[in-house]
Amino acid sequence: MKKLFLLVVLFALQTAYSQTTIQFQYDAAGNQIFRGIVLSASKSSAPEEAVTAEEPTAITPQTTEELPQFVFYPNPVKEELQLQWTTPQAKDQPKTFRLYNTNGQQLVQESITPESQKHTLNFISYPSGVYNLQVEYIGGETKVVKVLKE
């Protein structure tokens, strides 16, 4: 009987102090950027932070001319990918498009004329899969978007 009592007490102590917790961190857009296990989940004497819900606030530009727009469609693409953009400033104008496969091999590099507002990339000869479209802007900024080929 003493052994049973000792086992119950040890089991209770083990479960009380050895529980782990999982910690999540999110970026501003709500995407999960970290998931990890906190090994020491003992109760500390420090007060816990209160979590408060904040009302989302809309970001509204003063004028719509301040925001560049870059649109590509359809995604997933079958034959041709349409690219369109509006740029209020010269630095926001796309300069070069590069298409890469998942191995990092560059498949296409096409330069854009400054007065152009649209472009078409031909995907007919490429197999189905995921491709990275790198957009280089005149101002030096580079962005990468994923394109799915059916």
Render pLDDT for 53-110 as a digit per residue (tens, 0 to 9): 555 544 444 433 445 678 888 989 999 999 888 877 777 888 999 999 999 999 999 9
When comparing pLDDT for 38 and 119, which is higher?
119
Residue 23 in this model has a pLDDT that exceeds 90: no
pLDDT number for residue 8: 78
pLDDT number for residue 123: 94
Question: What value does the CA radius of gyration of the chain take, rounded to a whole number of Å?
Answer: 27
> Exposed/middle/buried for 24, CB within 10 Å: 0-12, 13-18, 19+?
exposed
pLDDT number for residue 65: 45
Q: Where is mean pLDDT largest: 3-17, 51-65, 110-124? A: 110-124
pLDDT number for residue 45: 47
Strand order in the sheet with 106-111: 106-111, 94-100, 129-137, 142-149
Percent of the chain, pLDDT > 70? 72
Question: How high is the mean pLDDT of the chain?
Answer: 77
Cβ(123)–Cβ(150) below 8 Å: no
- This model's pTM is above 0.95: no
